[in-house]
């Protein structure tokens, strides 16, 4: 990581800040895109307040990064929002916002970074979710955005392989990144790290998650199911999908009581 330039979206949140700290410790130059500026201060850190769903603002912010650091070696698409509402109760504006932040913005940022990543033979990291490969009750918009994200980056990986640009997809289970927040039913968008009534299995700390993600970057890993729950969910959904749905629904429905 030493001397490399990393662009990270969602850098002011729990997982984002943990990634920033570890990247800085490793000697990387770090640029952050977020709706709020990071509280972390360092000479090799550029924190930019920007709405990544606005293409013109995104272009201006990206130009600042290139002016400051001159190149991009690693792009980490970490920004994400979620919701807790059945599809029939989810406003179109909520659905559209989640798709815009989680999927469309990551595509647009990747498009901007791609010429620089090809030049540096760099890496793209996509922070997905268990909802990116398995169904999730009451999170149809979130699940759709993460499925779209995975489909896009898996396809892109096949296109960029000959250009020596590596793509790494990370699908965490629950990362305890916003313990001060409580997820609310039918309340629009919320943070994926907000606490819920029922969280199955081990809750991963942001520091743990960041350490495993950076190890995956260093090892040029292709896919990481982060946490025991993510691994179990993958195999259960793959081998016994009806059992997975029954277990998942039983737990997820408790949030709506």
> Is a pLDDT exceeding 80 seen at residue 39?
yes
Query: Quick check: helix, strand or coil at residue 104?
Result: helix
Contact 83, 102 (CB under 8 A): no
pLDDT digits (tens, 9 = 90+) for 42-57: 999 999 999 999 999 9
To which H or E segment does residue 170 belong? strand 166-172
For CA atoms 73, 78, 79, 80, the dihedral sign is positive
- Mean pLDDT, residues 2-25 taken together: 94
* CA angle, residues 152, 97, 244, in degrees to nearest 5: 60
Q: Tell me the H-state helices in 28-77.
A: 55-69
- What band does 194 get if pLDDT is binned at 50, 70 and 90? low
How does pLDDT run across 138-192, given as a tens digit for each residue? 999 999 999 999 999 999 999 999 999 999 999 998 776 555 556 677 778 877 7
Residue from 203, 212, 4, 172 nearest 80 by CA: 172
Pick the CATH number of 5-256 from 3.40.190.150, 3.40.50.970, 3.40.50.720, 3.40.50.300: 3.40.50.720
**Burial bucket for residue 251 (CB in 10 Å: 0-12, 13-18, 19+):** middle
- Choose the catalytic residue: 142, 223, 234, 244: 142
pLDDT in tens, 195-220: 565 555 567 899 999 999 999 999 99
Return the pLDDT at 180.
55
Q: Three-class SS of residue 155?
A: helix
Residue 250, C-beta contacts closer than 8 angstroms, at least 6 positions apart:
none
Helix (H, G, I), strand (E, B) or coil at 123: strand
Please say if 234 is a catalytic residue.
no
**Domain extent listing, the chain:** 5-256
**62-110 confidence digits (pLDDT tens):** 999 999 999 999 999 999 999 999 999 999 999 999 999 999 999 999 9
- Residue 26's contacts (CB-CB under 8 Å, 6 or more residues apart) are 1, 2, 214
- Which DSSP symbol is given to 86? -
Asked whether the beta carbons of 84 and 130 are under 8 A apart, the reply is no
pTM greater than the 0.85 cutoff: yes
């Amino acid at each position: 990581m030493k001397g490399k330039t990393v662009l990270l979206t969602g850098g002011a949140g729990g997982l984002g800040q943990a990634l920033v700290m570890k990247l800085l410790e490793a000697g990387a130059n770090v640029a952050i895109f977020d709706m709020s500026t990071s509280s972390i201060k360092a000479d090799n850190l550029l924190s930019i307040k920007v709405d990544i769903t606005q293409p013109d603002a995104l272009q201006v912010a990206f130009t600042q990064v290139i002016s400051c650091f001159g190149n991009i070696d690693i792009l980490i698409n970490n920004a994400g929002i979620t919701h807790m509402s059945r599809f029939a109760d989810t406003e179109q504006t909520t659905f559209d916002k989640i798709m815009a932040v989680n999927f469309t913005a990551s595509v647009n940022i990747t498009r901007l970074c791609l010429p620089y990543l090809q030049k540096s033979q760099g890496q793209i990291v996509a922070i997905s979710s268990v909802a990116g490969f398995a169904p999730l009750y009451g999170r149809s918009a979130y699940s759709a955005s993460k499925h779209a994200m995975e489909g896009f980056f898996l396809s892109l990986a096949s296109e960029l392989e000959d250009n020596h640009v590596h793509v790494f997809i990370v699908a965490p289970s629950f990362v305890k990144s916003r313990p001060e927040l409580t997820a609310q039913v039918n309340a629009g968008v919320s943070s994926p790290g907000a606490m819920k009534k029922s969280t199955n299995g081990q809750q991963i700390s942001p520091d743990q998650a960041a350490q495993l993600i950076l190890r995956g970057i260093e090892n040029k890993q292709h896919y990481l199911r982060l946490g025991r729950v993510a691994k179990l969910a993958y195999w259960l959904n793959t081998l016994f999908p009806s059992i997975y749905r029954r277990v998942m629904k039983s737990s997820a429905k408790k949030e709506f009581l």
